[in-house]
Chain A
Amino acid sequence: MRKPTMTFLGSGLLAAAALITSSLAIAADGIEGIKQRGTLIVGVKADYRPFGFRDPSGAIIGLEPDLAADVAKRLGVKLELVPVVSSNRIEFLQQGKVDLLIATLSDKPERRRVVQAIDPQYYSDFVNVMLPKKAGITDWAQLKGKPLCATSGAWYNKEVARTYGAEIVAFDGSEKPLFALKQGNCIGYVYDQSMLQGKLLDADWKADYALPLKGVLDAPWMMAVALGNGSLQTMLETTTKDWMKSGFIVEEEKKWGIEPTEYSKAMHEKYKNATN
């Protein structure tokens, strides 16, 4: 057989993969790069209602896409949204596949080492309890000694049990505890407030359940850009402060049907009268 070219196709694929790998991806060089390209590429969630989810046409809509659109408008460029999930969002940013992450990214010290966080954080999640309206519970102290459904592995389960004396009944994922709550196996469901608010957008839950308690254990969400992207960082910090000053985030929360959080209200108050 004198057909080495054919065989090379096979091993060629491998070789090509190796070659491609060695050429490093080029991240957009700050704001200039984005303006040259004419598009701002933002990584958002597509499975986290109402912060980022699909509409029947396939477009990604929600609170975070709205924030991204505002950033693009300020830069005077078009917006491209890339759906991300928790396991790939940091990589996408580091590879330069997205310029910016607005994707329910909790502020953690180990994350701050690998990406450039934008301060102040644009949003904050809390821990809250979804309770039946007829239970009449209005204070955390009333949970003492009561069975409380939870998702196993959530970092705040122990904290809630210790501080408020509730008996945690943990299940896998978020569907099973919700089901247990409906069956009456527990008094309420303790979980991320942002997710519970999303649930309450459903007529199914809205009728009989609510979040009567004040959120606790706040966990801020941060926007993030690639390390060393100074110009975009500065621009976003100004933008965030501007949002807080104008109450944009509080408006957005209302637009998407969620009760404005303590955090966004407090930040609006803080920056409302700031002069810069």
Chain B
Amino acid sequence: MREPPPTSCDLPVLLPFRVSRTRTRFALHPAQAWLLGAWIAGLILVVPAFAQGSDAVRSPFQVVLRWAPLLLTGFSFNVAISLVAMLLGTGAGVGLGLGLLSEVPVLRRVAWGVTQFFRNVPWLVLLFFVMFLVPFQITVFGLRVPLPDWVKATIGFALPVMANVAEIVRGAVSSVPATQWEAAESLAFTRRQTLFRIILPQCLKRMLPPWMNVYALIAMATVQASIVGVTEMLTLTAQVHAAEGGRPELFAPLYGFALLCFFLYCYPIDRLTARLERRFETA
């Protein structure tokens, strides 16, 4: 507590409330930092000990280093799939969410059905569905448009994102006190104006943390695309393992590298989400 600044009057006054800024620094908890450090140290120091003996055999660390550029290219595919799926899914999901709030019963029921369906089926099954039913190229007005595997996987992941975002939108809108609707109505706003000018702007803050949660889940789920043959990080990891002769001692370092990449990508998102949640907490 600081001394109040000297004022010209001696009367007790109420000083303006000072908002202390939440720091947005990513601090690792000591235990977490220790774990991460131990992992990296293990990779660098302990694991190569396996390979002592013959010089011709590359140490696991050298193997990871040698293949890191290729594996990171694969990882960038995972990131691309998750980002595009999120973009498509959010666009469709906002529409679907507004459909859930519609005053037209038919529209509301259809939107409800679509949301429930895509929220309650396994992502992997949806992925299989899209991969095997959508052809590898489509002909639009005589123009052949190729649909590479990763694009199809993106559509497959966008579907559950859509349903989850719809539910986030619906939840956020209904969390705004009903009095706001009433107040807006009394001020002669139309339903549409109320929704777009009053309710939704307030919802953005509330929707952000759960939306980021969905993103982190999708980012981690993209490795499922390897099951349907998309050349992403996990597929490449398996192929690299085979190219290095499938030595059992390479299994942990190679897949560990994939784990580390995803962790380093998703952990900050998770921290940021938690921070935003605290910050936006409505009292």
Interface residues of chain A, those whose CB is within 8 Å of chain B, are 1-14, 17, 20-21, 23-26, 46-49, 53-58, 83-85, 87-88, 91, 95-97, 174-175, 178-179, 198-199, 201-205, 207
Contacts and interface: CB of A to CB of B under 8 A. Distances in A.
A91 B166 contact: no
Interface of B: 54, 56-57, 66-67, 69-70, 73, 91-96, 98-99, 101-104, 107, 110-111, 114, 130, 132-139, 144, 155, 158-159, 162, 166, 191-192, 195, 228-229, 231, 235-236, 238-243, 245-248, 251
A70 B174 CA distance: 65
A10 B166 contact: yes
Contacts of B251: 175
Greatest chain A CB density within 10 A among B54, B102, B135 is at B135
B85 to A, nearest CB: 12
B98 A6 contact: yes
Contacts of B70: 54, 56-58
A53 B231 CA distance: 13
A53 B243 contact: yes
Contacts of A58: 70, 73, 236
Contacts of B111: 7, 10
Contacts of B104: 1-2, 4
24 contacts: A1-B98, A4-B104, A6-B94, A6-B95, A7-B96, A7-B99, A7-B102, A10-B92, A10-B93, A10-B114, A14-B114, A17-B155, A20-B138, A25-B136, A49-B243, A53-B242, A54-B70, A56-B67, A57-B70, A83-B229, A88-B228, A202-B57, A203-B57, A204-B247
A1 B191 contact: yes
Nearest to B158: A13
B135 A95 contact: yes
A257 to B, nearest CB: 12
A47 B110 contact: no
Contacts of B110: 7, 11
Contacts of A198: 245
Contact of A204 (B54, B137, B231): B54
A3 B95 CA distance: 8
A17 B95 contact: no
A-B residue pairs, 10 tightest by C-beta: A6-B95, A1-B102, A7-B99, A203-B56, A202-B245, A10-B96, A47-B242, A9-B95, A25-B135, A53-B243
Contacts of B93: 10
Contacts of A201: 245
Given A20-B134, A88-B229, A204-B247, A7 B239 contact: no
A207 B92 contact: no
Contacts of B239: 46-47, 53-54, 83
Contacts of B137: 25-26
